[in-house]
Amino acid sequence: MRILLVEDDAGTAADIARALSAAGHLVSHVADGKQGLMEAIGGGFEVLVVDRMLPGLDGLGLVRALRAAGVATPALMLTARASLGDRVEGLDAGADDYLPKPFALPELLARVNALGRRPAAMAQEATVLRVADLEMDLLRRTVTRAGQRIDLQPREWRLLEYLLRHAGRVVTRSMLLEGVWDIHFDPRTSVVETHVSRLRAKLGEPHLIQTLRGAGYTIRPPDP
């Protein structure tokens, strides 16, 4: 993917650019908000990664101006502020996701990937989500594995739906906490891990949900 990175801290920018490039993305980096806005309007990017605090024009202003100009390129906003209201502010301004610093690079990668392939490939109207022989019918609200029906609790349903909607991609612990539980802090206890392993066990062998150490989880067909 072509990614525009707008970040004024050279060290952080270099780290992010390196990680994104290593994951096979094409990264353009600018350090200034106004320049970032011009580049973003110029187009050709699939994802924008914008720091909130920037010289010239800050991240909020950048995204707001971009949306006002009718540019819908998904934007991930980064911030060093720990403030609670900031996320809401960022999303209100038109950002699609919000990641507080410090973050682990795998978290950033997972979120950029989730944003990047969202619109076209992810048909929002899909009524059946499928991975290998696992099927989730959103209309009939049934889950089957190789034709065998599996009963899920409401939360397990939402967890599986989230994983399936991001099938083949990495979802992180905090993405799951936000998407499934609407919880925006990281509990110390490995609560997500226990929920995921329960679901994994319920779905049966061979396991479809893989744990990627230090990164998160992914649902994909079992390795042959």
Partner 1 sequence: MTALRRWAGTTGFRITLLHLALTLLGTLLLAGIGYWATSRFAVRQIAAEIERDVGVLLNAARLGGVPSLALSIEARIAADRGGTQFFLLSGPDGGRIAGNLALAPRQAGWSSIEVDTAREDSVMLAFGTALPANHFLLVGRDLAPVRALEAQLLGAAGWVGGAAILLALGGGLLVGRGVARRAASMERALAQVEEGRMEVRLDARPGGDEFDQLARRVNATLDRLQGTMEALRQVSDDIAHDLRTPLTRLRRRLESMEGAEEAVAECDRILEIFAALLRIAEVESGARRAAFAPVALDEVCATVAELYAPAAHENGQILVAQIDHGPAIQGDRELLVQMLANLVENAIRHGRADGTVRLTLEGQAITVADDGPGIPAEARDQVFRRFHRLEASRTTPGTGLGLALVAAVAELHGMRITLEDAQPGLRVRVAW
Residues in touch with partner 1 (CB under 8 A): 9, 11-12, 15, 53, 80-85, 88, 100-105, 155, 181-185, 187-191, 194-195, 198
Residue 11 vs 147, nearer CB to partner 1: 11
Beta-strand runs (E) in the chain: 2-6, 26-30, 47-51, 75-79, 97-100, 128-131, 134-137, 142-145, 148-150, 209-212, 216-219
For 211, residues 6+ apart whose C-beta sits below 8 A from its C-beta are 193, 196, 217
Q: Nearest approach, Cβ of 78 to partner 1 (angstroms)?
A: 10
β-partners of residue 135 are 130, 144
DSSP letter for each residue of 65-79 = HHHHTT----EEEEE
Q: Nearest approach, Cβ of 123 to partner 1 (angstroms)?
A: 30
Q: Nearest approach, Cβ of 156 to partner 1 (angstroms)?
A: 10
Residue 127 vs 153, nearer CB to partner 1: 153
Residue 30 vs 71, nearer CB to partner 1: 30
Residue 73 vs 79, nearer CB to partner 1: 79
β-partners of residue 131 are 134
Q: Nearest approach, Cβ of 58 to partner 1 (angstroms)?
A: 12
